[in-house]
Amino acid sequence: MSRKSWIFETLCKSPTDLDTIVEQYELTKFRTEYTSVGVKYTYRCALYKRFPSCAMQLQAKQLSMTDVDTFEISKFGKRDHEKRALTTRAPSPIRDDVKTYVAAGLSETQIRRAVTIDHPQWAAQKQVRSLVGYYRTKNHPSSFSLSDLRDWCIERSQTPAHTPTESDTPFVLYSIWHTQITK
Would you state the pLDDT for residue 7? 92
Question: 114-135, pLDDT tens digit by residue?
Answer: 998 988 887 677 788 888 888 8
Chain-wide mean pLDDT for the chain? Answer: 81
The predicted structure's pLDDT at residue 164: 57
For residue 107, CA distances in Å to 90, 104, 133 come to 19, 9, 11
Q: What is the pLDDT of residue 145?
A: 66
Strands (E), the chain: 7-12, 27-34, 39-45, 57-62, 71-76
User: Domain 7-76, what fold?
Assistant: N-terminal domain of TfIIb (2.20.25)
- CB atoms under 10 Å from CB of 53, counted, come to 13
Question: How open is the CA angle 153-147-149, to the nearest 5 degrees?
Answer: 35
Q: Reduced to 3 states, what is the DSSP secondary structure of residue 79?
A: coil
Task: Look up the pTM and report it.
Answer: 0.50
- The 10s digit of each residue's pLDDT in 122-169 is 767 778 888 888 888 876 666 666 777 777 788 777 766 555 555 556
The 10 Å Cβ neighbour count of residue 46 is 15
pLDDT score of 183? 46
